[in-house]
């Protein structure tokens, strides 16, 4: 049962006309009072440059593109996570956070210019129509895929529910390509994958969308019944989980906690500080819990790991997480898309910021790398928040950090600010085979109460060969 719902995405409705009206009103007010004269001198400069480009550039520019690029430049200069979302990108983001869309139900990647099926999702239109893993899709409704990007091909396969699409498929063992007609339906992205590892319940959370909390509760309930009285405990795998909705991270943390704070968010002003609290009820009945993290664990997944670690409800195993400790608010702009703006930092229950630092595991276990990856010249090491250009400083890194901040932002030119606290990311490599997964095997022994080997020494990881896969 959902107990806490602390909104990560704040939706503020504002049409393009209303935005223009607001700007004009503010302009008149400030001009009348003589305030912010420097700001409006700069706005005049922007207007002069815009008009000069429109009138004198060698080719006639697209006015809309000019303004969008200017907005993008302004937001990108703030931090790596603030950005302008075009109407299309805003729709895509909404699909991602909802966790459902109209589509076929296959996970795909791109190979040699055509779409390759990684796997059909059980009980979806593609699965029922007979699409199989390793099928190569060459045409969509008789139009060639060659020349399209993976994202463009996926967009064509998605569409309104109950509309048909014909896939031309090349399959190993068949001499000629053949067509499969599939009727689109509602596809739900399962953010939680679970299985029994003998007497241990293993739950992997891949993202935090609107379905995550409900899917987690359902998966744990199923594993309880499947394993029965022999159940020793749980492994919650948050490795390579990039984050998502804050309310879902809070709900998932609450599933394991009986009481206490889960996360604090602090904006520019003190009155913007908010705290979320756990309510009674532990769906794991107090059994042992291990949480796996690595350099690809970011944002919402770091909230869960930090909350369970601070309350000593779980033992965190793996390598240091990414270190994204900021909250982004999505502000819709009517028909003009939206902006994603960093509006707050979040803190763990013990009031520590993981911004540009990450969560340090209780037990460091480096992943064993295959020889072919060790030989790669470029290590597979997530850069981490601290290495992103223009990132927010960790406010705990220096006693006076932020004292010289301008307009509510940390003084980025302070070379010493937070330097002793900030750290780059760690390895994000995870083997596909469970028996080769050093971190998973350590966690299994830990949960079972068996002797655990000493954690392997830190070593650089090598480049991952995994191909990008997209569900559609």
89 in a structural domain: no
Q: Could you tell me the CATH number of the domain that includes residue 249?
A: 3.90.226.10
Residues 349 and 324 in one domain: yes
The domain in which residue 241 lies consists of 192-400+416-466
- Side-chain-side CA neighbours of residue 262 (13 Å): 27
- The residue from 143, 173, 188 where one domain ends is 188
Average pLDDT of the chain is 82
Is the same domain home to 421 and 372? yes
Flag whether 435 is in a domain: yes
Taking residues 296-306, report their average pLDDT: 95
Percent of the chain with pLDDT over 90: 55
Same domain, 205 and 144: no
DSSP string across 281-330: --TTTT-EEEEEE-TT--THHHHHHHHHHHTTSSEEEES------EEEEE
In a domain, 78, yes or no: no
What does the pLDDT read at residue 424? Answer: 66
| Catalytic residue flag (residue 427) | no
Q: Do the beta carbons of residue 30 and residue 118 sit within 8 Å? A: no
Are 449 and 341 in a shared domain?
yes
Q: Is 301 one of the catalytic residues?
A: no
Q: Which of 82, 297, 299, 326 is catalytic?
A: 299
What DSSP assignment string belongs to 210-254?
Answer: TTHHHHHHHHHHHHHHHHGGG--EEEEE-TT---B-HHHHHHHHH
At 128-158, the pLDDT tens digits run 999 998 899 999 999 999 888 887 888 899 9
Q: State pTM to two decimals.
A: 0.75
Quick one: 229 and 366 in the same domain? yes
- Confirm if 76 and 388 have CB atoms less than 8 A apart: no
Closest Cα partner for 81 from 343, 295, 302, 321?
343
Q: Are residues 202 and 164 in the same domain?
A: no
Question: How many other C-beta atoms are found inside a 10 Å radius of the C-beta of residue 361?
Answer: 24
CA distance 281 to 365: 31
> Lowest-confidence range among 186-190, 304-308, 335-339, 465-469?
465-469
**Can you give the CATH number for the domain in which 139 is found?**
2.30.42.10
The tens digit of pLDDT for each residue in 188-236 reads 878 999 999 999 999 999 999 999 999 999 999 999 999 999 999 999 9
Task: Tell whether 269 is covered by a domain.
Answer: yes
Given a cut of 70, is residue 20 above it in pLDDT? no
DSSP state of 361: P
For residue 57, CA distances in Å to 51, 52, 61, 250 come to 10, 8, 7, 51
Residue 387 belongs to a domain:
yes
Q: Look up 299 and say whether it is catalytic.
A: yes
pLDDT band for position 425 (cuts 50, 70, 90): low
pLDDT in tens, 23-37: 444 444 544 445 578
Same domain, 388 and 457: yes
Question: Is residue 152 located within the same domain as residue 200?
Answer: no
Q: Do 369 and 446 have their domain in common? A: yes
Q: Are residues 432 and 285 in the same domain?
A: yes
pLDDT digits (tens, 9 = 90+) for 378-392: 444 556 887 777 788
Q: What is the pLDDT of residue 392?
A: 87
Q: Has residue 472 been placed in a domain?
A: no
Q: Evaluate whether residue 35 is within a structural domain.
A: no
* Pair (156, 246) in one structural domain: no
Same domain, 277 and 161: no
Q: Which is catalytic among the residues 135, 310, 410, 437? A: 310
How many domains would you assign to the chain? 2
The residue from 142, 167, 188 where one domain ends is: 188
Q: Is 399 exposed, middle or buried (0-12, 13-18, 19+ CB in 10 A)?
A: exposed
Q: Which of 122, 155, 188 is the endpoint of a domain? A: 188
Q: Is the dihedral of CA 40, 43, 45, 47 positive or negative?
A: negative
Does a structural domain hold residue 180?
A: yes
- Total count of residues recorded for the chain: 472
Q: Which of 116, 204, 324, 421 is catalytic?
A: 324
Number of H helices and number of E strands within the chain?
Answer: 11, 20
């Amino acid at each position: 049962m959902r107990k806490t719902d602390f909104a990560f995405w704040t939706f503020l409705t504002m049409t393009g006309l209303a935005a223009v009206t607001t700007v004009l009103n503010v302009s008149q007010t400030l001009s009348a009072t003589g305030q912010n004269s420097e700001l409006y001198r700069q706005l005049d400069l922007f207007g002069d440059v815009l008009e000069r480009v429109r009138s004198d550039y060698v080719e006639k520019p697209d006015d809309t593109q000019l303004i969008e690029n200017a907005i993008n430049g302004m937001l990108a200069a703030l931090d790596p996570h603030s950005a302008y979302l075009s109407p299309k990108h805003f729709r895509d983001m909404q699909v991602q956070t909802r966790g459902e869309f109209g589509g076929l139900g296959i996970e795909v990647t791109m190979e040699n210019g055509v779409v390759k099926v990684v796997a059909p999702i059980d009980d979806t239109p593609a699965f029922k129509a007979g699409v199989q893993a390793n099928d190569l899709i060459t045409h969509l409704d008789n139009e060639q895929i060659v020349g399209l990007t993976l994202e463009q091909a996926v967009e064509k396969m998605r569409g309104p529910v109950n509309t048909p699409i014909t896939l031309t498929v090349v399959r190993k063992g068949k001499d000629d390509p053949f067509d499969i007609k599939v009727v689109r339906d509602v596809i739900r992205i399962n953010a939680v994958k679970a299985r029994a590892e003998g007497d241990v319940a293993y739950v992997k959370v891949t993202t935090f969308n609107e379905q995550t909390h409900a899917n987690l509760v359902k998966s744990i309930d199923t594993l309880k019944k499947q394993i029965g009285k022999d159940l020793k405990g749980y492994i919650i795998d948050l490795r390579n989980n990039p984050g998502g909705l804050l309310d879902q991270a809070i709900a998932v943390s609450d599933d394991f906690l009986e009481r206490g704070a889960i996360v604090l968010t602090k904006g520019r002003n003190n009155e913007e500080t908010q705290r979320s609290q756990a309510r009674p009820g532990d769906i794991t009945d107090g059994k042992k819990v291990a949480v796996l993290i690595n350099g690809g664990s970011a944002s919402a997944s770091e909230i869960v790991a930090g909350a369970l670690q601070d309350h000593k409800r779980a033992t965190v195993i793996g390598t240091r997480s990414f270190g994204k400790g900021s909250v982004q608010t999505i502000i819709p702009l009517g028909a003009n898309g939206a902006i994603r703006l960093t509006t707050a930092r979040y803190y763990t229950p013990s009031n520590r910021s993981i911004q540009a630092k990450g969560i340090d595991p209780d037990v460091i276990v480096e992943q064993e790398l295959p020889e072919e990856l060790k030989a790669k010249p470029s290590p597979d090491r997530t850069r981490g928040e601290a290495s992103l250009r223009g990132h927010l400083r960790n406010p705990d890194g220096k006693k006076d950090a932020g004292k010289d901040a301008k307009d509510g932002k940390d003084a980025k030119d302070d070379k010493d600010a937070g330097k002793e606290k900030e750290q780059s990311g760690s390895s994000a490599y995870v083997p596909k085979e469970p028996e080769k997964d050093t971190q998973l095997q350590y966690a299994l022994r830990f949960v079972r109460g068996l002797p655990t080997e000493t954690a392997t020494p830190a070593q650089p990881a090598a480049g991952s060969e995994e191909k990008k896969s997209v569900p559609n």
